[in-house]
Amino acid sequence: MKWGVENPSADFTSHVMQRITSAYVTNSHTVPLLKQRIMQVLLGVFILVCIALLALCFTTPLALPFQFSVELPARYISQGFSFLIAFWLVMLLNLVLRKTFINHSL
C-alpha 56/C-alpha 60 separation (Å) is 8
Per-residue pLDDT averaged across 20-44, rounded? 75
Q: Which residue has the higher pLDDT, 10 or 28?
A: 10
Alpha helices in the chain (DSSP H): 12-27, 36-58, 74-105
Asked whether the beta carbons of 59 and 70 are under 8 A apart, the reply is no
Give the confidence band of 89 by pLDDT, cuts at 50, 70, 90.
very high
C-alpha 101/C-alpha 30 separation (Å) is 27
Asked whether the beta carbons of 81 and 88 are under 8 A apart, the reply is no
Inform me whether the pLDDT recorded for 94 exceeds 70.
yes
Q: Give me the pLDDT at residue 91, please.
A: 92
pLDDT of 11-21, one tens digit each? Answer: 888 888 888 88
Q: Give me the pLDDT at residue 34, please.
A: 67
Write down the domain spans for the chain: 34-71, 73-106
Asked whether the beta carbons of 55 and 47 are under 8 A apart, the reply is no
Q: Give me the pLDDT at residue 82, please.
A: 92
Greatest mean pLDDT range, 1-15, 34-48, 55-69, 85-99: 85-99
The reported pTM is 0.35
